[in-house]
Chain A
């Protein structure tokens, strides 16, 4: 028996929905979390491993971090960390049942984006 071709709900990200601040920030929260897990956390462990391995290993790591790829990895990690932390606070407030109306979701979303830019700029100014 051939399966009936039923209509499926269109995917949120694609040509059928207008992109919204809320949906884009939602998927970005996931993406930033995955980036922090796969790149950010290993970066911290590598730094720690380099320090515990001695001056030569530490110097080699600093040299890597000073290169273009290293700087890019640090910059994106700081950006993801700032966004994921600030947007995470927004999620934690939602989890208490507060600020769930559309206006608050947008207000808090804008605040998170501004905070992310400020925090990332400060941290990268210090680090790079």
Chain B
């Protein structure tokens, strides 16, 4: 006999109440990335062959700076979740698996920090 409410079972909520979080987060970030990558294509077309001051001014404009920060954070978050699944599927050594998780996450967070700092440096006119 199952003690689980059928609705909770359908939603995949285990005792930790986060059974579908990873799946959902991967899709939500993908949806957001459709817009942000669209902006990236626009930025690439606009900045192809651009000189230094054109590139700097483009990033410094607050709307572009916001898009760029959103893109970097969402992209690296999505990459982190995706790489986690790839590691889970192909790395069968328990210690190595955790080491790879650690490297993936540390790398993603470092990339986010580096990206945000560089955008802010340009946007705030340093």
Contacts and interface: CB of A to CB of B under 8 A. Distances in A.
Contacts of B56: 51
Chain A interface helix/strand/loop/mixed:
helix
Chain A contact patch, size range: 20 to 34
Nearest to B119: A48
Contacts, number: 72
Interface of B: 27, 30-31, 33-34, 37, 40-41, 44-45, 48, 52, 55-56, 59, 68, 72, 75-76, 79, 82-83, 86, 111, 114-115, 118-119, 121-122
Interface of A: 30, 33-34, 36-37, 41-42, 44-45, 48-49, 51-52, 54-55, 58-59, 81, 85, 88-89, 91-92, 95, 123, 126-127
Given A48-B72, A59-B52, 7 more contacts: A34-B82, A44-B75, A49-B118, A52-B118, A91-B30, A123-B44, A126-B48
